[in-house]
Structure 1
Amino acid sequence: MIRAGWTPTLDDFRAFARLSGDDNPIHTDPAYAATHPFGRPVCHGMLIHARLWALGQGAGLAGRVVELMFPNPAHAGDPLVLTLARDGTATLAEARRQDGTPVCLARWDAAP
C-alpha cells in the first residue's frame, strides 16, 4: 500500500481551472460558493484524481480507469489522505478526508 498526504488549496483549484477550462465559480470564487449548499469552494474531482494518478504513475501502478466516483466534496485547506492498494491485477485508488470520509474512489485495471 502507498499512502501520501495532500492538502488542496484555492490556488490549486484556480490553476486547475485555467488548465482544464473548468472555471465554474463553485471551484474558484469563495463569495459565489458561499451562496451554495457546500458553503465554500469545492475541489474539482478530476484534480483529486490527477493527484492519485500521478502517485500511481510514480509507483508504476496506474492503468486504465475502470471505475471513478466522487461521493463527497473536498475543500481548500482540508487535508486528504491518498492511498493506492493492489487488488489482484487492479489498483484501488482513494482520497479520503482525515476522518475517513471518501472524496474520490477509483479502480484502475492493469495497463494492457
Structure 2
Amino acid sequence: MSLAADIPLSATFTWIPRQADFDAFARLSGDDNPIHVDPEFSARTRFGRTVSHGMLLYTRVFAHLKALYPGRPHALQTLMFPNPSYADEELTFSFQENPGKADQILIEVKRSADGAVTLSGTCDLGGEK
C-alpha cells in the first residue's frame, strides 16, 4: 500500500543543472571548491569539467520528497555519490517506496545520457506533522 493513498508508489523527475546553479550553491553554502566553480581548474582534473556539489543534488531530492509526501518530515537519510553530475547534462531523479520497509523511500539520481548513478540512497519518513 502506498504511503499516501493519492501518491503513486514511484515517481520520476528530470532536471538539468547549470554552471550558474553550481556557482549560486557555492556562494550560499560557502563550498567554493574549484572542482565545482572553476572550469579551467576542473578541465585539468580526472573529471575534465566542473561537477555538482553532492548536497545541491540532495536539495533537489529533498524538494521532490516534500512535494510527494507533504507534511512528512525526514527522519533519516543515507546518501552515496558514486559518479559525478555535470553542468548542462540532464539528470533523472527516481523515487520508489521500499516494499521491504515501511515509510522508507529509495532514491536514485542518474545521468540521463549514460545511466550512471550520481546519487543513491534512502529517506526514512517520520509521522505526520
Q: State the TM-score, normalized to the length of structure 2.
A: 0.82
Structure 1 CA distance for aligned equivalents of residues 15 and 36 of structure 2: 17
Q: Deviations over 1:7-66 (max 9, x none)?
A: 100000000001111000110110010111111000000101110110001111662333
1:71 and 2:111 equivalent? Answer: no
Unpaired runs of at least 5, structure 1:
none
Corresponding residue to 1:26 among 35, 40, 44: 35
Structure 1 CA distance for aligned equivalents of residues 41 and 76 of structure 2: 32
Q: State the TM-score, normalized to the length of structure 1.
A: 0.93
- In the alignment, what sits opposite 1:89? 103
- In the alignment, what sits opposite 2:12? 3
1:109 and 2:120 equivalent? Answer: no
CA contact (8 A) 2:74 2:123 kept: yes
CA RMSD of aligned residues (A): 1.3
> Size of the alignment, in residue pairs?
112
% identical equivalent positions: 39
Unpaired runs of at least 5, structure 2:
1-9
More displaced, 63-72 or 33-42? Answer: 63-72
Structure 1 CA distance for aligned equivalents of residues 26 and 64 of structure 2: 21
- In the alignment, what sits opposite 2:51? 42
Q: Which is greater in Rg? A: 2
